């Protein structure tokens, strides 16, 4: 495994076409697109990594997996009152479906859905309290107390919030949000500004690879049924309008972020994190997806077989 990760890293270092870093969040536009990291945490407790796997980056929408997990923990199936679970087939920041579908976002991984999940987990509390809870949850599943929110990234996004603010206000007009829109957005932008390395992210995803149990500590995070359901949402919706393409090429539940990270789960086997800041036209890591495609071709770890 170690050799495979190193081979993938070496091969991708030769790539000249690396995609485009997100520039609608000015802080992310400053990231060097030549960086690449990959990390694998197996259910047996082994760890492998190559490249810049210890460098923290902005996990952005990958955080939506963690807030979804928290939301299901707090509300159970009640969460689905204000968020759907179907792929949208539209870009991550699209507003069009909301008007036809009573302000109910299609799934928890598009921006509108993630904003609705944040509103649901706030439960009358202040952003600070919800963020503290999120941080302790992610620290717990990562087994690392050093994780932090990058406040500069959050501020950068708050300063360019118009698109997400539109989604939030539109949903609020349909009665889908309970809290003050600016408080919900402030919470959402901090969630997206979580800084994590591939090593930390692979560890954090391990509970989804082992029926809800955190390995190697053996502590249960969610039920097996809930882990399966979160994985299915990642498979169907984790890459927005390129989720079909990602399933076709990689065949693993995966969640991308505009920071260039992807978390991919190989159920029963392990959790993989890759990071390459350049994005494709759908806002997903260009080389990250290629690295995962190379990985499944060599290992046969896709859920659909070799
Ligand atoms: N796809 C993403 O990672 C988008 C997250 C980003 N924070 C946004 O709201 O636009």
**Cα 211 to averaged position of ligand 1 atoms, centre (Å):** 28
Q: Is the CB of 157 under 6 A from ligand 1?
A: yes
Could you tell me what percent of the chain has a pLDDT over 70?
100
| Rounded distance between C-alpha atoms, residue 97 and residue 236, angstroms | 17
Q: pLDDT digits over 58-102, tens only?
A: 999 999 999 999 999 999 999 999 999 999 999 999 999 999 999
Q: Which residues are annotated as a binding site for substrate?
A: 61, 111, 157, 164, 188, 240, 258
- Using most ligand atoms within 8 A of CB, pick from 257, 259, 275 the residue to mutate for ligand 1: 257
Q: What is the DSSP string of 189-213?
A: HHHHTEEE-HHHHHHHTHHHHTTTE
Ligand 1 atom nearest to CA at 111 = 9
pTM value is 0.98
92 lines ligand 1 (CB under 6 A): yes
| Residue reference for tokens 């485009």 | 20
pLDDT at 215: 80
The region of weakest confidence among 52-66, 99-113, 204-218, 219-233 is 204-218
User: Which are the contacts of 298, defined by CB distance < 8 A and separation ≥ 6?
Assistant: 4
Please report which residue ranges of 76-160 form alpha helices under DSSP H: 96-100, 111-122, 127-142, 151-158
Contacts by 8-11, CB closer than 8 A, 24 or more apart: 8/38, 8/50, 8/291, 8/294, 8/295, 9/36, 9/38, 9/50, 9/51, 11/294
Cα 282 to averaged position of ligand 1 atoms, centre (Å): 12
Does the pLDDT at position 216 exceed 80?
Answer: no
What kind of fold does domain 61-192 have according to CATH?
A: Beta-lactamase (3.40.710)
pLDDT in tens, 153-197: 999 999 999 999 999 999 999 999 999 999 999 999 999 999 999
Establish whether 296 is a catalytic residue.
no
Peptide bond into 216 cis (omega under 30): yes
Which residues in the chain are classed under CATH 3.40.710.10? 2-60+194-299, 61-192
CA 15 to CA 178: how far, in whole Å?
47
Which residue in 39, 64, 104, 250 is the catalytic one? 64
Question: Do 76 and 129 contact (CB within 8 A), yes or no?
Answer: no
pLDDT tens-place string over residues 246-272: 999 999 999 999 999 999 999 999 999
CA 93 to ligand 1 centroid distance, Å: 8
- The residue to mutate among 92, 154, 166, 280, having the most atoms of ligand 1 within 8 angstroms of its beta carbon, is 92
191 lines ligand 1 (CB under 6 A): no
Can you tell me the distance from the alpha carbon of 12 to that of 4, in angstroms, rounded to the nearest whole number? 12
Residues paired with 285 in a beta bridge = 279
Ligand 1 binding pocket includes 63 (Cβ within 6 Å)? no
Atom 8 (ligand 1) nearest CA: 111
> How far does the centroid of ligand 1 lie from the alpha carbon of residue 45, in Å?
31
Specify the range with the lowest mean pLDDT, choosing from 83-87, 211-215, 232-236.
211-215
User: Does 42 have pLDDT greater than 80?
Assistant: yes
The CATH code of domain 2-60+194-299 reads 3.40.710.10
Ligand 1 centroid to Cα of residue 270, in Å, is 26
């Amino acid at each position: 495994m170690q050799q495979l990760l190193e081979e993938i890293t070496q091969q991708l270092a030769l790539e000249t076409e690396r995609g485009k870093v997100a520039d609608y969040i000015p802080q992310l536009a400053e990231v060097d697109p030549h960086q690449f990291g990959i990390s694998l945490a197996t259910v047996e407790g082994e760890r492998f990594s190559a490249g810049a796997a210890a460098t923290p980056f902005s996990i952005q929408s990958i955080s939506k997996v963690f807030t979804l997990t928290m939301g299901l923990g707090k509300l159970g199936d009640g969460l689905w009152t204000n968020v759907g679970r179907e792929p949208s087939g539209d870009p991550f920041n699209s507003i069009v479906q909301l008007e036809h579908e009573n302000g109910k976002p299609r799934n928890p991984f598009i921006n509108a859905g993630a904003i609705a999940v944040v509103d649901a987990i706030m439960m009358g509390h202040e952003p600070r309290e919800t963020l503290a809870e999120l941080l302790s949850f992610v620290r717990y599943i990562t087994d690392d107390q050093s994780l932090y929110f990058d406040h500069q990234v959050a501020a950068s996004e708050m300063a360019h919030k118009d698109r997400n603010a539109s989604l939030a206000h539109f949903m609020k007009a349909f009665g889908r949000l309970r809290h003050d829109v600016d408080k919900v957005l402030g919470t959402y932008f901090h969630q997206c500004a979580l800084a994590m390395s591939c090593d930390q992210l692979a560890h954090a995803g391990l509970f989804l690879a082992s029926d809800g149990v955190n390995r190697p500590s053996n502590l249960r995070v969610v039920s097996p049924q809930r882990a399966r359901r979160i994985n299915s949402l990642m498979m169907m919706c984790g890459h927005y309008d390129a989720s079909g393409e990602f399933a076709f090429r990689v065949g693993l539940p995966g969640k991308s972020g505009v920071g260039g990270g992807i978390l991919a789960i190989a159920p029963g086997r392990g959790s993989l994190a890759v990071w390459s800041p350049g994005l494709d036209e759908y806002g997903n890591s260009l080389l990250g997806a290629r690295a995962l495609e190379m990985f499944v071709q060599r290992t046969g770890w896709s859920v659909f077989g070799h």
